[in-house]
Structure 1
C-alpha cells in the first residue's frame, strides 16, 4: 500500500507539472524572417538590432518603440557592445550606430536610386521574391539537446542540431507552406500554412523627414583648430574674437573634406535617423513574419512644386557622378519602373519643366507597389525657414565688420514674418495640396487613405513655457540669438496654425483623395524645445550630451571649455529634441567653397563659414530623439493602414 501511495503521489506531481508547464512539455516551432528590413543589406547588423529591440521592456515596445530603441542603440554604441557586425567599436562609440550602416544599404549614390541593389538572398531590392527564415524549437526535450533535427518546408529539407537555430533559405513571399521538424525518426512539431508577407513603403517630403541635421556619421572635428575663421564673431561678454574648431585635415586651402559628415544621400541630407526610416524599421523589428522595403526620397528644402513635383537641387556642391536635382516623383519611377529611360534626367538643363506635361506615368511598372506612403510637406511652401531666419538673426548691434558679414550671409536666405507665414498657410497650402493629390492619384498605385502626412512639432515650447530671450544653444556666432521676447510664444502659436492649415487642406480634398494626418506627437515635444538644456541622468558623457554652450578656447589655460570638440557626441540622449546652431556646427559642419549668389567667392577660412556650418547643417530640425518621437506617433496609424496587429 505504501508503494502504491508513493506511485500515485509521483504520478500526481508529474501530471501537475505537465499541467503547469504544458507549453514546455509540447515542443513548438518559432520562426522569423532573417533580415526583415531590406534597406539594410547586412543581415548580421539587422540581427543585432533585432536582439536589442527584443530586449526592450514590453511597455516600451508597445508605447514608444522607436524612441526606446534609439536610446538602447546609442547606449549599446557608447558601451561598445554592438559587436563585430558594426566594425570598430571605438568609432561607433564616437559617431553613433548608423555610422557603421550607412554605406551598407540598398541606396546606391551612383545610380541615384535603389533599383540596382542585390540582397544576399539573390533578390533584387525592387523585386522581392524570397527571404531566408530562421527557425528554432521552443520547449525542446532535454534528451534531444545533443541530437540532430530534420526540418522540412515544402520541398526543402535541412538538418541542424536540435538545440540550435536553423536556416530555411529562399522561402517565397505570399505562398503558404508547412514547416515541420523531426528527430530520431519521430515528429516533434509542425506549423501549418506559414506565409511570409512583404510590405513596401515609399517616403516623400522635406527636411523634417529627410533627417536634416542628423548625418549618419558626423563630421570629425579636432582640437587643434585654433585661430581659424579670424574675426567672424566676437566672444560673448568678453573682448576678442571666437576661435573655431575645424575638421581633421583642414588647412588654409582645404575644408578637410575627408572628415566631412557622411549621409545616406549628401545632396538631400537624407539620413537613417529620419522619421520615415525609423517608423519602417520598427515595423520590421516588431513583426517577425513581415519584410519591409523602404524607398525614401525626402530632400532638405523640398516644396510641393520645387522638390516633390519639380526640379530642385537642394545642395549643388556634390560631385557630378551623384548630382541629382530631379523631382522626387521622378526618382520614384526610376526605382518602381522596369525601364528607367526618361526618369534618369538628373538636371533640367535650364528647361521649364512641368510635371503634368513632362513626367509621364510608367507603362512598365514593377510588380512591387507601395502599400503605404509616408509624407512630410508644407513647411517650405510657406517659408518656415525664412521665419526662423527673421527671428533668430540679430540686427543693428554689430560693428562694421560683423554687419557686413551679416549682410553677406543674409543674401543666401530670405526672411519672412509670422504674419506673412500665416497668410501663406491660408493662401498657398490649399492649392499646393490639391496639386500634390492630383499628382499622387496619377502616379502612385496606392489609396489616398494609405498616405500618412505628419504634422510639424512644437519647437519653442519648453517645460515652463515658451523659450525666452536667449543665446542658449546659439552662442556659436554673435549674429544668432532669440532676441525678441515674443519669438518663443509666437512660434508656439504658429505651429498649431500651420498644422490646422495642413489638416484643413487635406480635409478639403475629395473624399477619395484625402490622406491621413498624424499630429499626436506635436505637443509631446513640449519640454524638449530648442532651448531645453540637459540630458537624462543615466546618459553616458552627460555633461557633453546635454551641453548648450559652444566650446570656447581658453587662452590662459590652453584648453577648450566646457568640452573639447573631439569629445562631442552627437547622438547621446538629451532633453532637447532639436538641433541647435551649436549642434549643427559640431555635428553636420556643412561648409563649402565656391561662388554664392549675391556674394564674392568664399574660401575655406572665410569668416562666413561658421555661419554656414551653424545654420545650413540642420539647425532647428528634429534631432535623432525628435525623429524617433515623430515615428512613434506614426507607427500605430501605419499599422492600421497595413492591417498589422497593434501590440
Structure 2
C-alpha cells in the first residue's frame, strides 16, 4: 500500500516543492525541454532533522554555492546568532546523545536507523498542456495505487525502503490523444557515521552560543594575593555573586551556559562532519542520509575511539547528576549497526568521516605551551601535565601513533565490510598561518582574555613548523598506508584521505584580520592585546576597554580568521569542563583554575563554522566518490568556491 496525496503538505511547502523540483541538483546535463517527464525527490532527506523547514533552509542557501558560501549567507541572515540555535531542539538525537526511537519527522513516526519508507514528492514536468488531467499509478509490487489530479499538482507519497516503485501517469488534455509517461522510484538511504576528536565534533561552535552580560565577573589569579583579581564579561541571566568574595555553586552557573547538540562531547551541527552529511542530502535529491555523530572533543584513539573517555560538560538536567564518562565511539557504532541489522539484515555502514590523532600527540599541551606565558602558571601547568613540548609530541608521533592506527584499522574494518576506503579521513589544518601561509607573529592579541596568556613567537614558530613538516605528513602516511605505515593489506587498509582544505587555511589562521571583520571585533579586540579593563572597580560594571557591551559579540559572522582564538572561545562558550578529575574541579566558580579553563575549553585554536564549512567543501567530493555519487552536480563547482564575501580573502 502506497499512501499518497497532493494535500499532505502546507501550501507554502507545496509551492516550495514545486520550485525545488526545477533545480538542476541531480538531473542529466542535457534533456529534451519539450518532453514531459516524471520528476521526483525525497523530502526532508537529511533524516537528523525532524522538520522539513530546517532542511529547506539549507537547500535554499546552497543554490549554486559552496558550503562555505552557504554558511556565510546563513550567518548574515541570522545576524551572527547562528542558524543552528533553534534547530538543535528539533533533531532525532537528543541532547544526551540518545537516538529517538521512534523519531517523529513531519508528523510521521520513523525508525531513525532503519527507515521502512521515505517521503517523496512527484510531479509531471516539461511541456505539460495547461489544464491537463493526470491519472497517476504507483506500484511497488503489491498492486497499483491510482488517483487522478490536475497535472499541475505535486503528488506526495511514501515509498518503501529497498523496493522499487514504478510511477506512471496518463496525461489527458481535451481532444488530444492520451500520453503515458513512466519512471522508476527507488530511494537510496545512506548511513553515515562521524568519528574522531574535537575537530570531528565541532568544538568551538556551540549550537546556541553563550549569551553574554555587559557586566563583569571576577576571577582570581593563581598568585593568590588580595589584589590578584581580574574581571571579564559575565553570563547573561546569572543573578548570583559576580565578585570574587561572593561564591556560588557550579550547578547554578551552568544554567546560563552555551547549548551544544551534545554537551558531554561538545558535538555541534556546525562540524564539518555534520555539514558534509547534510551537503550530501542537499545535493542529491534521490537519496536520504541517516547521520550518526559520535565524535567527541578530547578523544584519542585509545581514550575515545577504542575506550571510554571523560566528558567535557554536562547538560543542565532535573536530576543534577553528571555522568563524567562517555562510551567508546567504536563500541557505540558497533552497537548501533548491530541493532540496525537485526531489523534490516542488508543495512550497511556506507561512510565514516574521521579526524583523529592530535590528542595522541598531546596537541592541546602544545597549545598550552605556546599561549601560557607567566612563570607561575607555566610551573603549575607543567607539574600537572597540562603542557607538552614539541619533543614530547615528536616522540608520541614516532612511537605511539603508528601502533594506535593499527588498532584503529582493525576495529573499523569489520564495520565497513573490510574496505577502509569507506573511511574518509579528513586531516587537520595548521591553525597558525595567514597571508598566504606565513606563520602568525604571536602576541597577546586574541588571547588577552586571561592575564597569563601570550602566544610566544618562538614557541609558536616551533609548533607551526612541527605541524607542517612532521605531524601532518605522518598522519597522511598513516591514513594512506605510505611513508612506512604498518598496514597488513595496503589496498584494503588505505583510507580515503582529504587535505585539500589546508591551503585555504593558509590565509585564515587565528591571527588573520580583515576590514570586513565584525565591527565589535575590530573595535573591542585590541591588536595590542589590551582589550579588557584592568581596573577591578570599574571593570565590575564595564569589563571592555572599548566601552561597548560584550553582549554585542556575535559568534557566527563572517571573519578573516577561521580559527577561534581564546577570546572567541570565552565569548562563544565560556566552558567550565565538568569532566575533569574531582581534584581539578574547584567548588568556587571564581577560582583561578576556572579562569584559565573557561578561556580555552570552549574551542580555542579550533576551526570556526566557516572553517568547518571549508573542510566540508573539501570532504564532499571524496565522500561522493566513495558512495558512487556524482561529486559535481550541474551548477556546483568542485572544491572551494570563492566565499560570499570575496574581499575577506
Same fold (TM > 0.5)? yes
Measure the CA separation in 2 of the matches of 1:323 and 1:230: 26
Residue 234 of structure 2 aligns with which residue? Answer: 246
Q: Does 1:459 align with 2:431?
A: yes
Residue 219 of structure 2 aligns with which residue? Answer: 229
Per-residue CA distance 1:2-52 (angstroms, 9 max, x = gap): xxxxxxxxxxxxxxxxxxx99554443332111111111111211222122
Measure the CA separation in 1 of the matches of 2:384 and 2:211: 26
Contact 1:466 1:488 in 2 (8 A): yes
Measure the CA separation in 2 of the matches of 1:268 and 1:283: 24
1:316 offset after TM fit, Å?
A: 6.1
Measure the CA separation in 2 of the matches of 1:432 and 1:607: 35
SS of alignment partner, residue 78 of structure 2: helix
TM-score by length of 2: 0.79
Measure the CA separation in 1 of the matches of 2:129 and 2:267: 50
Contact 2:311 2:325 in 1 (8 A): no
Contact 1:29 1:189 in 2 (8 A): no
- TM alignment of 1:86-105, pairs within 5 A: 95-105=81-91
Q: Does 1:621 align with 2:611?
A: no
SS of alignment partner, residue 190 of structure 1: strand
Per-residue CA distance 1:572-631 (angstroms, 9 max, x = gap): 111111111000000011025798555573312223323111111111111111111111
283, 299, 315: which is aligned to 2:296? 299
Measure the CA separation in 2 of the matches of 1:194 and 1:642: 19
- TM alignment of 1:372-411, pairs within 5 A: 372-396=351-375, 403=376
Contact 1:71 1:573 in 2 (8 A): yes
Contact 1:233 1:242 in 2 (8 A): no
Aligned pair count?
Answer: 567
Measure the CA separation in 2 of the matches of 1:486 and 1:171: 59
Residue 353 of structure 1 aligns with which residue? Answer: none
Contact 2:308 2:325 in 1 (8 A): no
Measure the CA separation in 2 of the matches of 1:257 and 1:442: 41
Q: Does 1:202 align with 2:193?
A: yes
Contact 1:67 1:628 in 2 (8 A): yes
Contact 2:524 2:545 in 1 (8 A): no
Residue 72 of structure 2 aligns with which residue? Answer: 71
Q: For residues 262 and 529 of structure 1, do their structure 2 counterparts lie closer, same or farther at Cα, with a shift above 3 Å needed?
A: same
- TM alignment of 1:245-394, pairs within 5 A: 245-250=233-238, 251-252=240-241, 253-254=248-249, 256-315=253-312, 317=314, 320=321, 324-338=325-339, 367-394=346-373
Contact 1:24 1:139 in 2 (8 A): yes
RMSD: 3.3
SS of alignment partner, residue 622 of structure 1: coil
Contact 1:544 1:567 in 2 (8 A): no
Q: Does 1:108 align with 2:117?
A: no
Q: For residues 177 and 365 of structure 1, do their structure 2 counterparts lie closer, same or farther at Cα, with a shift above 3 Å needed?
A: closer
Residue 105 of structure 2 aligns with which residue? Answer: 119
Contact 1:114 1:335 in 2 (8 A): no
SS of alignment partner, residue 255 of structure 2: helix
Residue 397 of structure 2 aligns with which residue? Answer: 425
Q: For residues 544 and 209 of structure 1, do their structure 2 counterparts lie closer, same or farther at Cα, with a shift above 3 Å needed?
A: farther
Per-residue CA distance 1:201-251 (angstroms, 9 max, x = gap): 111111111111111111111112x352255899xxxx9964211112321
Contact 2:281 2:288 in 1 (8 A): yes
Q: Does 1:517 align with 2:501?
A: no
Contact 1:158 1:168 in 2 (8 A): no
Residue 625 of structure 2 aligns with which residue? Answer: 640
SS of alignment partner, residue 390 of structure 1: helix
1:437 offset after TM fit, Å?
A: 0.8
Q: Does 1:135 align with 2:122?
A: yes
Residue 415 of structure 1 aligns with which residue? Answer: 387
Measure the CA separation in 1 of the matches of 2:497 and 2:180: 45
Q: Does 1:612 align with 2:597?
A: yes
Contact 1:196 1:289 in 2 (8 A): yes
Contact 1:113 1:331 in 2 (8 A): no
Per-residue CA distance 1:251-279 (angstroms, 9 max, x = gap): 12255333211111100011111111111
Contact 2:84 2:207 in 1 (8 A): yes
Residue 18 of structure 2 aligns with which residue? Answer: none
Q: For residues 209 and 597 of structure 1, do their structure 2 counterparts lie closer, same or farther at Cα, with a shift above 3 Å needed?
A: same
Per-residue CA distance 1:155-189 (angstroms, 9 max, x = gap): 33455554344322345444242243635587566
1:114 offset after TM fit, Å?
A: 5.5
Residue 356 of structure 1 aligns with which residue? Answer: none
1:326 offset after TM fit, Å?
A: 1.2
Q: Which runs of 5+ in 1 are unaligned?
A: 1-20, 79-93, 340-361, 397-402
Q: For residues 195 and 112 of structure 1, do their structure 2 counterparts lie closer, same or farther at Cα, with a shift above 3 Å needed?
A: closer
Per-residue CA distance 1:337-394 (angstroms, 9 max, x = gap): 229xxxxxxxxxxxxxxxxxxxxxx988854221111111111111111111112111
SS of alignment partner, residue 452 of structure 1: strand
- TM alignment of 1:438-453, pairs within 5 A: 438-445=410-417, 447-453=419-425
1:474 offset after TM fit, Å?
A: 0.3
SS of alignment partner, residue 73 of structure 1: helix
Q: Which moved more, 1:553-562 or 1:632-641?
A: 553-562
1:498 offset after TM fit, Å?
A: 1.1
Measure the CA separation in 2 of the matches of 1:165 and 1:407: 69
Contact 1:461 1:492 in 2 (8 A): no
SS of alignment partner, residue 243 of structure 1: strand
Q: Which runs of 5+ in 2 are unaligned?
A: 1-29, 242-247, 633-649
Higher relative contact order (CA 8 A, sep 6+): 2
Contact 1:476 1:550 in 2 (8 A): no
TM-score by length of 1: 0.79
Q: For residues 169 and 316 of structure 1, do their structure 2 counterparts lie closer, same or farther at Cα, with a shift above 3 Å needed?
A: closer
Q: For residues 544 and 159 of structure 1, do their structure 2 counterparts lie closer, same or farther at Cα, with a shift above 3 Å needed?
A: farther
Q: Which moved more, 1:617-626 or 1:493-502?
A: 493-502
